[in-house]
Every structure is written in C-alpha cells, then in structure tokens.
Amino acid sequence: MREALIRYMSGFATQRAAARSLQGVSAIMVSQVKNKHWNHISDTQWQNIAKQVGFYAGNEWQQADTSAYLLLRIIFNDAQYNAMAYGVAMATGIGKTFTAQRYARENDYTHYIACTVEMNRKTFMVALAESMGLEKGNSVEETMALIIAKLKENDDLLLVLDDAHKLKDRVLQFAATLYRHLAGRCGIVMLGNDELRMRIVEGVRLNKEGYEEIYKNIGRRFITLGRLSDKDVALVCRANGLKDEGSISCITDACGSNLLAATEMIQELSGKKNSNKIINEQSKTALL
C-alpha cells in the first residue's frame, strides 16, 4: 500500500496537500506509512487509507453494470469531454457516490467534491483546491483565482459535486459563478436527491438569486433515476461473488431498493465482512 500512497501523493503539489485531501487521515499518519512506521496504525485506519489511495488486496468491492452506474458513466464522460453541465437527481442508496468516486479515480482531470451541510464558500473552495493538490489562498477570492488558473491549464476537466442538495444557497450560487468562469472549458455534474431538483425549480419560480443561472447552466432540466430494480441488486450480488439464487432473491426482497443495505447483506453472505482484516494483513505484507 505504501506504493499506492506514493502514487496518490504524486498528484499533489505537496505531501501536506495530499494528506489534507484524505478524509480521516492525518499528515502524521501519511508520513508513518510512507516511512514504514506502521506499528500504531489500526486495522480501521489501514482500510480507510487503502480505499482512498486505490490500494486493493484482491477482494475489493466490484462494480456492476446497474442502471445508475451505466447512466452516470455516460453523463460524466459527456460532461468531461464536451464541457457540459448536468443536474442529476437520484434516489438515495442507488450507487451514485460509488460510481462518482470510481470515475474520479479512473479518469485524469476529474475532481470530486463530497458536499456537506457545514460547507460555506470558503470551505467549499478549500475542498476543491485540496482535490486539485493546491494550497489555499489568503481569501476566498484568491483561492478561487488559483483554482481557475489551474483548471485553465488543461482541457477535458470535470467537477463532480456529490450530495449537492446539502449545500447552502450561497455555496450553490458560488458554484454557478465558478462554472461561468470555466464555461466551454470544464464539465460539471451536480449530483443529489430529488430535494436538489425541487429546490432549484422552486428557486427559479420564486426568482431567488442565482437559481435561474444554475437552472440555465444545466439545460433547464434534471436527469432523474428512481428506485433500484431487482435486476440491479442481482447484478451487484453476482459481481461480488454471491451466486446462490436463493440468497440473491432474499437480499433483493429485504434490502428495500437500497444498495447500502444490500451491500451489508452481500458482505455477510460472501465473507467480505472480514475485508478490513484481509486488506490490513495484505497491505502490511506489501510494505515489507
């Protein structure tokens, strides 16, 4: 895993910037792994680092060609290579975050932001800067200028804002301003649940500041996808080693059209529940 971490850090300006881009991972922990001082790193911490830097021990969670996975890959690709903006409203537990993170890991110049309710303009800009390996500026405006300058260095760029429905109005408006500066050079995909769609449509109706611009940018429409189908659940089961049709049927009936619930059941039945220990042991072996 040390090699995977070093490869991951090579995409950032500094080791500190790389560490700050990893959730739940300190700069000290990054240094410990890099310098082979791993005695005090717990199983959970190994697993967390491994997932984020792209280290896999042969039993990683496999993608399946579900409706959501295929649709999002098409959207991401079109947005990235044609500088398009999309708004996507999808049901919770359908696999949007898994797909977005996987696409970002596999495609250069794709920057993924996990939006939160706590974000303001400053923290949004900092999160975006960190995903690009940039140090933040002394102000929001300076950070934004650094980001725009960096993004203009390359073509075929993509920004993915996951859980965009969690963003406050001012931050959503700020994202629209950022896109305006990059129109024709950068794709952007706003991912959220149906709350995002209703909020923006209602904001346009009430003439709320910035909402008309956001809606115009995404072509005055949202791409929507509803509940998970039984076929989708079965595809995920089979892709991750579960072949027994009786078990697949039980999971399909019990998961409530939610891949998060289905994943737990698949892990229990396929033996992947112990993946923390497996990845920990194999990642330590890889360091020796």
Query: What tokens does 74 get?
Result: 């098409």
Q: Is the pLDDT of residue 135 over 90?
A: no
Question: Which residues contact residue 123 at a Cβ distance below 8 angstroms, ignoring those fewer than 6 apart?
Answer: none
Inform me whether the pLDDT recorded for 56 exceeds 70: no
pLDDT of residue 131: 78
Q: For residue 184, what are the CA distances in angstroms to 20, 157, 179? A: 30, 10, 9
Q: How far is Cα of residue 26 from the mean position of the Cα atoms in its chain? A: 20
Distance from C-alpha of 153 to C-alpha of 126, rounded to nearest angstrom? 19
More confidently predicted of 48 and 98: 98
Tell me what pLDDT residue 178 has: 82
pLDDT at 235 over 90: yes
Residue 20's pLDDT band, with cuts at 50, 70 and 90, is: confident
State yes or no: pLDDT of 231 exceeds 90: yes
Range of 35-49, 103-117, 190-204, 252-266 with top mean pLDDT: 190-204
Tens of pLDDT along 60-97? 678 899 999 999 999 999 999 999 999 999 988 899 98
The whole-angstrom distance between residue 207's C-alpha and the CA centroid of its chain comes to 31
Full strand arrangement of the beta sheet holding 157-162 = 110-114, 157-162, 186-192, 85-90, 223-225
Q: What is the predicted pLDDT for the residue at 278?
A: 37
Query: What is the average per-residue pLDDT within 158-165?
Result: 93
> Side chain identity at 76, as an amino acid letter?
F
In the chain, the percentage of residues whose pLDDT exceeds 70 is 86
